[in-house]
Amino acid sequence: MNNELTTEQLQRIANLLVKAYGHEIAKNGDWWFGIDDYDFNIHDFGDREGTGYYSVNVYEHNGQGMDNYTNEIDLEPVFIG
């Protein structure tokens, strides 16, 4: 990976995505956004459904093509009110 980010940096990016796209995320319930070496999945599946809290999973690319990941990082949940 060229640009390894810390968990704190990834959380800040997720918070900015929620700030910018919160309405769209809430409307879809399962939302994806990709940057360089990472894909963000923000969703309200499972026990979070209907609570306003969304899980944030970040997938780190392994360089072997789309949907091939070396790592999954679970970030702190975000609230979309």
The tens digit of pLDDT for each residue in 1-19 reads 456 899 999 999 999 999 9
In a domain, 51, yes or no: yes
Number of folded domains that form the chain:
1
In a domain, 19, yes or no: no
In a domain, 34, yes or no: yes
In a domain, 80, yes or no: no
**Is the Cβ–Cβ distance between 64 and 37 less than 8 Å?**
no
Q: How far apart are CA 25 and CA 20, in angstroms?
A: 10
- Mean pLDDT along residues 14-29: 95
- Token representation of residue 8: 């704190």
Question: What's the predicted TM-score (pTM) here?
Answer: 0.85
The tens digit of pLDDT for each residue in 44-67 reads 877 777 788 999 999 988 777 666
- Mean pLDDT along residues 16-43: 93
Residue 66: give the domain boundaries. Answer: 24-75
Given this model, what pLDDT does residue 2 score?
A: 55
In a domain, 13, yes or no: no
Given this model, what pLDDT does residue 43 score?
A: 94
